[in-house]
Chain A
Amino acid sequence: DVKVTQSSRYLVKRTGEKVFLECVQDMDHENMFWYRQDPGLGLRLIYFSYDVKMKEKGDIPEGYSVSREKKERFSLILESASTNQTSMYLCASTPGQGDSYEQYFGPGTRLTVT
């Protein structure tokens, strides 16, 4: 079974803090993704990566950065947390870029910024 893990299930941070969310997958997947999920909205892609040290902006990259130093690990960084970044953050991975590849999701991190 593919396993995607995220460093925290719940996180509370203060405005202006630097926040690190970590994601690790154990199936040697090439592609990794960071989404946020808010009520009434679909999943929105923040950043993705097709290879180590490679990153691409998604639909809403502002206020975020990412790091992929190792194939299995993809980190999301909030440089200076703001209240509008309160959300559920989901990490996902896929084996490659094939059409039918499903995304495997981690359990999510519910971040509250106060």
Chain B
Amino acid sequence: GQNIDQPTEMTATEGAIVQINCTYQTSGFNGLFWYQQHAGEAPTFLSYNVLDGLEEKGRFSSFLSRSKGYSYLLLKELQMKDSASYLCAVKDSNYQLIWGAGTKLIIKP
């Protein structure tokens, strides 16, 4: 079966750095997405990786290792507004998105 694993919840301090991991087992791979979802709101796109390596976008970076079936989202200089759920999703061989359950990130002052 297809599976995406992420930690359920993480806590970090304002101003710090946090890394949210995602491991996947899917039938084929056509890219990995990270989305941010604030409570009660729709998911919004953060990043896309299809090749191995690090993609940096401001305070957020996303890393992919296809051989290990592994990705992480790195958030730097955390702000209170970063408190949200972070969803990892993989596009499989049928170009369908398989979603993880999401990681709830709690930022403390």
Q: Using a CB–CB distance below 8 Å, which chain A residues touch chain B?
A: 4, 40-45, 58, 90, 97, 99-100, 102-108
Contact = CB atoms under 8 A, between A and B. Distances in A.
A73 to B, nearest CB: 18
A107 to B, nearest CB: 5
Contact of A100 (B4, B43, B50, B89): B50
* Number of chain B interface residues as a range: 20 to 34
Contact of B102 (A42, A97, A105, A106): A42
Residue of A42, A58, A104 most packed against chain B (CB within 10 A): A42
Contacts of B87: 42-43
Given A42-B4, A42-B101, A105 B95 contact: no
Contacts of A105: 42-44
A30 to B, nearest CB: 12
Contacts of A103: 43, 45, 97
A43 B37 CA distance: 12
Contacts of B40: 108
A95 to B, nearest CB: 13
Contacts of A90: 42-43
B92 to A, nearest CB: 11
Contacts, number: 48
B42 A97 contact: no
B4 to A, nearest CB: 7
A94 to B, nearest CB: 10
A104 B45 CA distance: 8
Nearest to A104: B45
Contacts of A44: 99
Contacts of B42: 4, 90, 105-108
B30 A99 contact: yes
24 contacts: A40-B8, A42-B87, A42-B89, A42-B98, A42-B99, A42-B100, A42-B101, A43-B87, A43-B97, A43-B99, A58-B96, A90-B43, A99-B30, A99-B95, A100-B31, A102-B33, A102-B45, A103-B45, A103-B97, A105-B42, A105-B44, A106-B42, A107-B41, A108-B40
